[in-house]
Structure 1
Protein backbone atom coordinates (compact mmCIF):
# COMPACT_ATOMS: atom_id res chain seq x y z
CA UNK A 1 0.00 0.00 0.00
CA UNK A 2 3.02 2.24 0.30
CA UNK A 3 3.28 2.69 -3.47
CA UNK A 4 -0.28 3.96 -4.04
CA UNK A 5 0.25 6.26 -1.04
CA UNK A 6 3.48 7.67 -2.46
CA UNK A 7 1.87 8.00 -5.90
CA UNK A 8 -1.01 10.00 -4.43
CA UNK A 9 1.37 12.29 -2.56
CA UNK A 10 3.47 12.82 -5.69
CA UNK A 11 0.33 13.55 -7.71
CA UNK A 12 -0.76 16.13 -5.15
CA UNK A 13 2.60 17.90 -5.46
CA UNK A 14 2.36 17.78 -9.26
CA UNK A 15 -1.04 19.50 -9.08
CA UNK A 16 0.38 22.03 -6.60
CA UNK A 17 3.07 22.94 -9.13
CA UNK A 18 0.52 22.97 -11.98
CA UNK A 19 -1.67 25.36 -10.00
CA UNK A 20 1.29 27.64 -9.37
CA UNK A 21 2.04 27.74 -13.11
CA UNK A 22 -1.61 28.55 -13.86
CA UNK A 23 -1.65 31.33 -11.26
CA UNK A 24 1.57 32.79 -12.61
CA UNK A 25 0.15 32.69 -16.14
CA UNK A 26 -3.07 34.38 -15.06
CA UNK A 27 -1.18 37.21 -13.35
CA UNK A 28 1.45 37.65 -16.06
CA UNK A 29 -1.19 37.85 -18.82
CA UNK A 30 -3.30 40.29 -16.81
CA UNK A 31 -6.27 37.92 -16.47
CA UNK A 32 -6.20 38.55 -12.72
CA UNK A 33 -4.34 40.98 -10.52
CA UNK A 34 -1.98 39.81 -7.84
CA UNK A 35 -4.47 41.26 -5.33
CA UNK A 36 -7.00 38.62 -6.40
CA UNK A 37 -5.07 36.07 -4.35
CA UNK A 38 -5.39 37.98 -1.08
CA UNK A 39 -8.86 36.54 -0.53
CA UNK A 40 -9.29 34.55 -3.76
CA UNK A 41 -12.41 36.50 -4.54
CA UNK A 42 -13.67 38.21 -7.64
CA UNK A 43 -13.54 37.12 -11.24
CA UNK A 44 -10.91 34.69 -12.41
CA UNK A 45 -10.54 32.64 -15.59
CA UNK A 46 -12.37 29.33 -15.52
CA UNK A 47 -9.17 27.32 -15.86
CA UNK A 48 -7.82 28.98 -12.72
CA UNK A 49 -11.06 28.40 -10.79
CA UNK A 50 -11.04 24.73 -11.83
CA UNK A 51 -7.41 24.23 -10.82
CA UNK A 52 -7.94 25.94 -7.46
CA UNK A 53 -11.08 23.95 -6.74
CA UNK A 54 -9.47 20.70 -7.78
CA UNK A 55 -6.47 21.24 -5.55
CA UNK A 56 -8.86 21.86 -2.65
CA UNK A 57 -10.61 18.58 -3.54
CA UNK A 58 -7.34 16.77 -2.87
CA UNK A 59 -7.72 17.59 0.82
CA UNK A 60 -11.26 16.32 1.20
CA UNK A 61 -11.94 12.62 0.44
CA UNK A 62 -8.27 11.76 -0.18
CA UNK A 63 -7.61 12.43 3.51
CA UNK A 64 -9.50 9.19 4.22
CA UNK A 65 -7.25 7.43 1.70
CA UNK A 66 -4.12 8.74 3.41
CA UNK A 67 -5.33 7.51 6.80
CA UNK A 68 -6.28 4.12 5.35
CA UNK A 69 -2.92 3.79 3.62
CA UNK A 70 -1.04 4.68 6.79
CA UNK A 71 -3.05 2.12 8.77
CA UNK A 72 -2.20 -0.51 6.17
CA UNK A 73 1.48 0.36 6.34
CA UNK A 74 1.67 0.55 10.13
CA UNK A 75 -0.25 -2.62 11.00
CA UNK A 76 0.86 -4.07 8.28
CA UNK A 77 -2.17 -5.02 6.25
CA UNK A 78 -1.18 -6.34 2.85
CA UNK A 79 -2.54 -8.33 -0.03
CA UNK A 80 -3.54 -8.03 -3.62
CA UNK A 81 -7.04 -6.76 -2.79
CA UNK A 82 -5.75 -3.95 -0.55
CA UNK A 83 -3.08 -3.03 -3.07
CA UNK A 84 -5.57 -3.21 -5.95
CA UNK A 85 -8.01 -0.94 -4.17
CA UNK A 86 -5.20 1.50 -3.37
CA UNK A 87 -4.17 1.66 -7.00
CA UNK A 88 -7.81 1.88 -8.12
CA UNK A 89 -8.25 4.86 -5.85
CA UNK A 90 -5.14 6.56 -7.17
CA UNK A 91 -5.96 5.92 -10.83
CA UNK A 92 -9.54 7.10 -10.42
CA UNK A 93 -8.32 10.32 -8.74
CA UNK A 94 -5.96 10.92 -11.66
CA UNK A 95 -8.89 10.33 -14.04
CA UNK A 96 -11.00 12.72 -11.95
CA UNK A 97 -8.31 15.38 -12.27
CA UNK A 98 -7.99 14.77 -16.01
CA UNK A 99 -11.71 15.30 -16.51
CA UNK A 100 -11.96 18.25 -14.11
CA UNK A 101 -8.96 20.12 -15.48
CA UNK A 102 -9.70 19.58 -19.17
CA UNK A 103 -13.19 19.30 -20.64
CA UNK A 104 -14.93 19.17 -17.23
CA UNK A 105 -17.98 17.09 -18.13
CA UNK A 106 -19.88 16.87 -14.84
CA UNK A 107 -21.33 13.40 -15.53
CA UNK A 108 -17.91 11.94 -16.40
CA UNK A 109 -16.35 13.64 -13.40
CA UNK A 110 -19.06 12.27 -11.12
CA UNK A 111 -18.60 8.74 -12.46
CA UNK A 112 -14.85 8.64 -11.83
CA UNK A 113 -15.41 10.29 -8.45
CA UNK A 114 -17.84 7.51 -7.54
CA UNK A 115 -15.33 4.86 -8.66
CA UNK A 116 -12.78 6.42 -6.32
CA UNK A 117 -15.33 6.44 -3.51
CA UNK A 118 -16.16 2.76 -4.07
CA UNK A 119 -12.47 1.87 -3.94
CA UNK A 120 -12.10 3.88 -0.73
CA UNK A 121 -15.16 2.28 0.86
CA UNK A 122 -13.85 -1.16 -0.07
CA UNK A 123 -10.50 -0.33 1.45
CA UNK A 124 -12.08 0.80 4.71
CA UNK A 125 -14.33 -2.26 4.88
CA UNK A 126 -11.28 -4.52 4.59
CA UNK A 127 -9.38 -2.49 7.17
CA UNK A 128 -12.34 -2.64 9.53
CA UNK A 129 -12.68 -6.39 9.11
CA UNK A 130 -8.95 -6.99 9.58
CA UNK A 131 -8.63 -4.81 12.66
CA UNK A 132 -11.80 -5.98 14.41
CA UNK A 133 -11.91 -9.60 13.31
Structure 2
Protein backbone atom coordinates (compact mmCIF):
# COMPACT_ATOMS: atom_id res chain seq x y z
CA UNK A 1 0.00 0.00 0.00
CA UNK A 2 1.32 3.45 -0.87
CA UNK A 3 1.25 6.50 1.33
CA UNK A 4 -1.78 8.76 0.75
CA UNK A 5 0.43 11.86 1.01
CA UNK A 6 1.97 11.02 -2.36
CA UNK A 7 -1.30 12.03 -4.07
CA UNK A 8 -1.21 15.72 -3.09
CA UNK A 9 2.48 15.79 -4.01
CA UNK A 10 1.65 14.61 -7.53
CA UNK A 11 -1.27 17.05 -7.79
CA UNK A 12 0.93 20.03 -6.87
CA UNK A 13 3.63 18.89 -9.30
CA UNK A 14 0.96 18.60 -12.01
CA UNK A 15 -0.48 22.00 -11.10
CA UNK A 16 3.00 23.49 -11.38
CA UNK A 17 3.23 22.16 -14.92
CA UNK A 18 -0.20 23.61 -15.73
CA UNK A 19 1.05 27.00 -14.50
CA UNK A 20 4.23 26.58 -16.56
CA UNK A 21 2.14 26.02 -19.69
CA UNK A 22 -0.07 29.00 -18.83
CA UNK A 23 3.04 31.15 -18.29
CA UNK A 24 4.43 30.20 -21.69
CA UNK A 25 1.08 30.71 -23.41
CA UNK A 26 0.75 34.15 -21.81
CA UNK A 27 4.29 35.48 -22.02
CA UNK A 28 5.27 34.48 -25.56
CA UNK A 29 2.46 36.48 -27.21
CA UNK A 30 3.17 39.42 -24.86
CA UNK A 31 6.85 39.29 -25.76
CA UNK A 32 6.02 39.21 -29.45
CA UNK A 33 3.64 42.18 -29.01
CA UNK A 34 6.43 44.06 -27.20
CA UNK A 35 8.74 43.48 -30.15
CA UNK A 36 11.05 41.09 -28.33
CA UNK A 37 12.79 38.73 -30.74
CA UNK A 38 13.96 35.74 -28.72
CA UNK A 39 16.51 34.81 -31.38
CA UNK A 40 18.30 38.12 -30.74
CA UNK A 41 18.15 38.15 -26.94
CA UNK A 42 21.01 36.83 -24.85
CA UNK A 43 20.98 36.85 -21.09
CA UNK A 44 18.70 38.80 -18.85
CA UNK A 45 18.24 39.67 -15.22
CA UNK A 46 15.39 38.44 -13.03
CA UNK A 47 12.50 40.87 -13.23
CA UNK A 48 13.82 42.57 -16.36
CA UNK A 49 10.65 41.77 -18.29
CA UNK A 50 8.56 43.40 -15.55
CA UNK A 51 9.55 46.78 -17.00
CA UNK A 52 8.66 45.74 -20.56
CA UNK A 53 5.63 43.45 -20.48
CA UNK A 54 2.16 44.24 -19.13
CA UNK A 55 1.75 43.15 -15.50
CA UNK A 56 -0.97 40.62 -16.33
CA UNK A 57 1.45 38.88 -18.72
CA UNK A 58 4.01 38.64 -15.92
CA UNK A 59 1.68 37.36 -13.18
CA UNK A 60 1.86 33.72 -14.37
CA UNK A 61 5.68 33.92 -14.37
CA UNK A 62 5.66 35.32 -10.85
CA UNK A 63 3.33 32.53 -9.75
CA UNK A 64 5.49 29.88 -11.38
CA UNK A 65 8.48 31.22 -9.43
CA UNK A 66 6.41 31.07 -6.24
CA UNK A 67 5.66 27.42 -6.99
CA UNK A 68 9.42 26.81 -7.06
CA UNK A 69 9.99 28.39 -3.64
CA UNK A 70 7.95 27.43 -0.55
CA UNK A 71 6.55 24.21 -2.07
CA UNK A 72 10.06 22.73 -1.96
CA UNK A 73 9.60 22.55 1.83
CA UNK A 74 6.21 20.90 1.23
CA UNK A 75 7.75 18.25 -1.04
CA UNK A 76 10.60 17.49 1.36
CA UNK A 77 8.43 17.24 4.47
CA UNK A 78 5.72 15.24 2.67
CA UNK A 79 8.30 12.75 1.44
CA UNK A 80 9.70 12.46 4.98
CA UNK A 81 6.20 11.62 6.21
CA UNK A 82 5.73 9.07 3.42
CA UNK A 83 9.09 7.37 4.07
CA UNK A 84 8.46 7.40 7.83
CA UNK A 85 5.21 5.54 7.20
CA UNK A 86 2.94 8.28 8.55
CA UNK A 87 1.76 9.89 5.33
CA UNK A 88 -1.85 8.80 5.76
CA UNK A 89 -4.76 10.22 7.76
CA UNK A 90 -4.29 13.69 9.22
CA UNK A 91 -0.94 14.16 7.50
CA UNK A 92 -2.49 13.50 4.10
CA UNK A 93 -5.32 15.92 4.93
CA UNK A 94 -2.84 18.63 5.91
CA UNK A 95 -1.01 18.08 2.62
CA UNK A 96 -4.27 18.31 0.66
CA UNK A 97 -5.10 21.57 2.47
CA UNK A 98 -1.69 22.98 1.53
CA UNK A 99 -2.17 22.01 -2.11
CA UNK A 100 -5.68 23.50 -2.19
CA UNK A 101 -4.44 26.80 -0.75
CA UNK A 102 -1.58 26.93 -3.28
CA UNK A 103 -3.88 26.22 -6.23
CA UNK A 104 -6.34 28.91 -5.15
CA UNK A 105 -3.39 31.27 -4.58
CA UNK A 106 -2.25 30.59 -8.16
CA UNK A 107 -5.69 31.28 -9.58
CA UNK A 108 -5.95 34.57 -7.67
CA UNK A 109 -2.44 35.62 -8.67
CA UNK A 110 -2.90 35.03 -12.39
CA UNK A 111 -6.37 36.61 -12.56
CA UNK A 112 -6.97 39.54 -10.22
CA UNK A 113 -3.66 39.42 -8.30
CA UNK A 114 -5.34 40.99 -5.26
CA UNK A 115 -2.61 41.13 -2.64
CA UNK A 116 -5.05 41.10 0.29
CA UNK A 117 -6.51 37.78 -0.90
CA UNK A 118 -3.14 36.32 -1.85
CA UNK A 119 -1.72 37.23 1.56
CA UNK A 120 -4.49 35.38 3.41
CA UNK A 121 -3.99 32.33 1.20
CA UNK A 122 -0.23 32.51 1.71
CA UNK A 123 -0.64 32.66 5.49
CA UNK A 124 -3.10 29.75 5.50
CA UNK A 125 -0.83 27.64 3.29
CA UNK A 126 2.15 28.54 5.47
CA UNK A 127 0.31 27.48 8.62
CA UNK A 128 -0.57 24.12 7.07
CA UNK A 129 3.03 23.73 5.96
CA UNK A 130 4.28 24.49 9.47
CA UNK A 131 1.95 21.78 10.80
CA UNK A 132 3.26 19.34 8.21
CA UNK A 133 6.89 20.12 9.07
CA UNK A 134 6.15 19.67 12.77
CA UNK A 135 4.53 16.31 12.08
CA UNK A 136 7.57 15.29 10.01
CA UNK A 137 9.88 16.33 12.85
CA UNK A 138 7.83 14.33 15.34
CA UNK A 139 7.91 11.32 13.02
CA UNK A 140 11.69 11.26 12.72
CA UNK A 141 12.74 12.51 16.16
CA UNK A 142 10.16 10.72 18.29
Q: By the TM > 0.5 criterion, same fold?
A: yes
Q: Distance in 2 between matches of 1:112 and 1:67?
A: 21
Change (3 A) 1:25 1:70: same
Structure 1 residues not aligned, in runs of 5+: none
Q: What's the TM-score once normalised by structure 1's chain length?
A: 0.91
Counterpart among 91, 112, 119 of residue 82 in structure 1: 91
Q: Report whether the alignment pairs 1:12 with 2:16.
A: yes
Instruction: After superposition, give the CA deviation of every residue in 1:15-63 in whole Å (9 maximum; x if it has no partner).
Output: 11111101222134x1351357841624111112211111111111100
Residue in 1 that maps onto 2:34: 31
- SS of residue in 1 equivalent to 2:20: helix
Q: Which residue of 2 aligns with 1:3?
A: 7
Greater shift, 77-86 or 113-122, is seen at 77-86
* Counterpart residue number, 1:53: 62
What CA distance in whole angstroms lies between the structure 1 residues aligned with 2:93 and 2:37? Answer: 43
Cα-to-partner distance string for 1:54-90 (whole Å, 9 max, x where unaligned): 1111111100001012112222223321011000000
1:66 corresponds to 2:71: no
* Bigger relative contact order (CA 8 A; separation at least 6): 2
Q: Indicate the SS of the match to 1:78.
A: coil
What is the RMSD of the two structures over their aligned residues, measured on CA atoms?
1.7
TM-score normalised over the length of structure 2:
0.85
Query: Mind listing any 5+ residue stretches in structure 2 that lack a counterpart?
Result: none
- CA separation of 1:45/1:38 partners in 2, compared to 1, >3 Å: closer, same or farther? farther
